[in-house]
Structure 1
Amino acid sequence: MPQHVQGVIAPGRNEPVRVETIVIPDVGPGEAVVKIQACGVCHTDLHYKQGAINDEFPFLLGHEAAGIVESVGEGVTDIEPGDYVILNWRAVCGQCRACRRGRPWYCFDTHNAKQRMTLLDGTELSPALGIGAFAEKTLVAAGQCTKVDPAVAPEVAGLLGCGVMAGIGAAINTGNVGRGDTVAVIGCGGVGDAAIVGSRLAGAAKIIAVDIDDRKLETAKTMGATHTVNSRSTEPVEAIRELTDGFGADVVIEAVGRPETYKQAFYARDLAGTVVLVGVPTPEMQLELPLLDVFGRGGALKSSWYGDCLPSRDFPMLVDLHRQGRIDLAAFVTETIGLGDVEKAFARMHEGDVLRSVVVL
């Protein structure tokens, strides 16, 4: 029998979000209903609200979540009711050309629930990143549920569902940061700070944090940055070169998603170095670079989707590292809030005084 729960929707472009009654259909084959315990407020949710992802309004927001499996559909064998899970938006298919080549983190046909959740009047909702977790319960594909150790609090575990995983993975999986490397991270929000944590875990010798906000740079130091650069008052490319013996960093991670900061990343890397774009641009943005510079500097220009992660491999590993004290996931949580506080959380995000607001249900 369909269930009625409370959830946060974005009704239209740049309109205030509101709490509405959401109808969850009976679970279908390959699907799961998850009772949400906590969900982080990610910048991607703000992009959905602003219409910067697409215009398939209304959206059921929220995707960075942990909770308990309530029910599963026919054919589901990997999870069962009562399992503690982190939700992911890259449920690999196992059949596409990437999966068949042994590269499932690039899966080109990831799964979402086939049924749609709706409003009471039958209006179909578009769940953010196929999840929609600013809600008491949500319907997802079973492959979007990754079992983890229930000893980790949901407001902490859920962050691995997007921002923290994206940043750590950008450093370790995409950037291949290694022992003794120099790394620069441009943009020190949640994803950038996670990239700093990932670089530290990988053994980087020097980690340079770049931002325009001194508060964020101070936080970056607590995450493992060895040096900081305020790019509002200091030219960042010159500063990064000065800190790397004039060469540039081995890996530069761009966690803003803007053409001007991408150019900084491009010119701040060493010859044959790597640029990783993990910041999410908007559709109208354009990038222009001299092709000769692209050719002459060599190296690699990479984009990192979800930190090139494989949730079944990476989520449990990072939970274990947190439990060992090697990653302090709790350091990413600035505040816990309720469903009715999401609009205020977006405002705080604009003000730059919050790393992560987390909705706790």
Structure 2
Amino acid sequence: MKAAVLHNYGKDLKVQEVDLEEPRKGEVRVKMKAAGICHSDQHVIDAHLPLPVPIVLGHEGAGIVDTVGEGVTGVKEGDHVALNWVPSCGKCHYCRIGRPDVCDEASKTALMGTMLDGTTRFSVDGKNVHQFPLTGTFSEYTIVPENAAVPVNKDVPFELASLVGCCVITGVGAVMNTAKVEPGSTVAVIGAGGVGFNAIQGAALAGAKQVIAIDMVDEKLEMTKQFGATHTINAKEQDPVKNVLAMTEGLGVDYAFEAIGSPGTIQSAYNMTKKTGTAVVVGISAPNESVSVNAFSLPSQSKTLVGSWLGQGNPHVDYPKLLDLNRAGKLELEALVTQTYALEDVNEGLAQLKSGQNIRGVIRFD
């Protein structure tokens, strides 16, 4: 079978023949049908997330259960599934307090690039190949823990099912779960990518009266209006903070969402938030980067600066809900897919992601 493998940081992925073991106890083999191309994959290539190489990238994905390992009861052969890159253990402190998105076991294993038992299932010429993170969706087949395969209805297009696994649950969840945006509030979203578009439509769904989209690509800014943006700011031409303040009578927004992962835009999100407001960091920065905010402003302005991982979601509960919202016409998913690629064209898809051409490019395996 073929997979897209990163052998060296900063280099193209190599689409090549790889070997895949049979699923072990508690594991599932999935025939991939669609995989979203996300900035998190690019972060690994750029060594911002320095996971071990060689590694099969990809974490947004959907497909059909091909076979199951011993003891698997949650899915069966033939089931359609969307993959969950944070398969929570259900036992650690964070799972017990209702935060499976930051499960200790899943977090630790993801950084290792292995399965839950610390071993790999992919190999080339007998040498181990890692997978990112517990999924490895840039492959014709993959093996995942049972909890990483979330059943979805068979009438859901695989492209849409793949996207709920990262950009949709992350963006909408940041609005609904982390910030808990209230009707009539004001919102700014920095970054019109897959996550940013979903934060925008999440804010509109929550009833925000003003949703300001901020990016540097006019075509994408224009498209944000289809997802619920009421105002747009091109950050190449206008100062985002000054313009947000001007649009909000000098107050700032109730909620600002940063969906890029840059210290500068995180500071901007905080600075454009009003007194008592909340700035939510969704974008992923490199582990060695830091953000500086005025310490006095935290108590004196009663601002909240908070992070959001996987939209504080629970995939087994939220994937079906998000897809039901799409079916009901409340959540736009189809328009998120702006380009599709064959697996062999994955590097072209990554290049177009990096240049800002797509909201979401999706690899199709048919």
Which TM-score bucket, shorter chain as reference?
over 0.9
SS at match of 1:334: strand
Contact 1:71/1:81 (CA < 8 Å) preserved in 2?
yes
Task: Tell me what 2:301 maps to.
Answer: 297
Task: Tell me what 1:81 maps to.
Answer: 77
Per-residue CA deviations over 1:265-318 (Å, capped at 9, x if unaligned) read 111111111110001101232212221122222132111111111001110001
Contact 1:113/1:139 (CA < 8 Å) preserved in 2?
no
Match of 2:218 among 209, 214, 220: 214
Shift of residue 210 of structure 1? 0.8
Match of 1:44 among 36, 40, 49: 40
Hey, what's the Cα distance between the residues in 1 that align with 2:16 and 2:318?
34
Hey, what's the Cα distance between the residues in 2 that align with 1:321 and 1:266?
30
Shift of residue 332 of structure 1? 0.6
Per-residue CA deviations over 1:207-236 (Å, capped at 9, x if unaligned) read 000112212211111111000111222111
Hey, what's the Cα distance between the residues in 2 that align with 1:63 and 1:70?
18
Hey, what's the Cα distance between the residues in 2 that align with 1:265 and 1:172?
18
SS at match of 1:129: coil
Per-residue CA deviations over 1:23-55 (Å, capped at 9, x if unaligned) read 111111111101100001111111111222114
Hey, what's the Cα distance between the residues in 1 that align with 2:116 and 2:149?
12
Hey, what's the Cα distance between the residues in 1 that align with 2:122 and 2:26?
19
Q: Does 1:14 align with 2:10?
A: yes
Task: Tell me what 1:348 maps to.
Answer: 352
Task: Tell me what 2:140 maps to.
Answer: 136
SS at match of 1:71: strand
Hey, what's the Cα distance between the residues in 1 that align with 2:101 and 2:351?
33
TM-score (norm 2): 0.94
SS at match of 2:34: strand
Task: Tell me what 1:34 maps to.
Answer: 30
Divergent runs of 4+, >6 A: none
- Measured on the aligned residues, the alpha-carbon RMSD in Å equals 1.4
Q: Does 1:171 align with 2:175?
A: yes
Task: Tell me what 1:103 maps to.
Answer: 99
Task: Tell me what 1:272 maps to.
Answer: 276
Q: Does 1:230 align with 2:226?
A: no
SS at match of 2:306: strand
Contact 1:98/1:106 (CA < 8 Å) preserved in 2?
yes
Hey, what's the Cα distance between the residues in 2 that align with 1:101 and 1:36?
33
Contact 2:297/2:303 (CA < 8 Å) preserved in 1?
no
Contact 2:298/2:304 (CA < 8 Å) preserved in 1?
no
Q: Does 1:311 align with 2:295?
A: no
Unaligned runs of 5+ in 1: none
Hey, what's the Cα distance between the residues in 1 that align with 2:298 and 2:130?
39
Amino acid of the residue matched to residue 46 of structure 2?
Q
Amino acid of the residue matched to residue 109 of structure 1?
E
Q: Does 1:328 align with 2:326?
A: no
Hey, what's the Cα distance between the residues in 2 that align with 1:55 and 1:97?
25
Amino acid of the residue matched to residue 77 of structure 2?
P
Per-residue CA deviations over 1:139-182 (Å, capped at 9, x if unaligned) read 11010011111111001110111112211111111111111111
Hey, what's the Cα distance between the residues in 2 that align with 1:101 and 1:119?
37
Amino acid of the residue matched to residue 346 of structure 2?
V
Hey, what's the Cα distance between the residues in 1 that align with 2:100 and 2:57?
26
Task: Tell me what 1:360 maps to.
Answer: 364
Q: Does 1:183 align with 2:187?
A: yes
Task: Tell me what 1:200 maps to.
Answer: 204
Task: Tell me what 2:112 maps to.
Answer: none
Shift of residue 356 of structure 1? 1.3
Hey, what's the Cα distance between the residues in 2 that align with 1:198 and 1:309?
14
Contact 2:338/2:359 (CA < 8 Å) preserved in 1?
yes
Contact 1:22/1:117 (CA < 8 Å) preserved in 2?
no
Shift of residue 108 of structure 1? 2.1
Moved more, 48-57 or 189-198: 48-57
SS at match of 2:159: helix
Match of 1:23 among 19, 24, 27: 19
Hey, what's the Cα distance between the residues in 2 that align with 1:73 and 1:330?
33
Contact 1:210/1:228 (CA < 8 Å) preserved in 2?
yes
Contact 1:85/1:145 (CA < 8 Å) preserved in 2?
yes
Task: Tell me what 1:121 maps to.
Answer: 125
TM-score (norm 1): 0.96
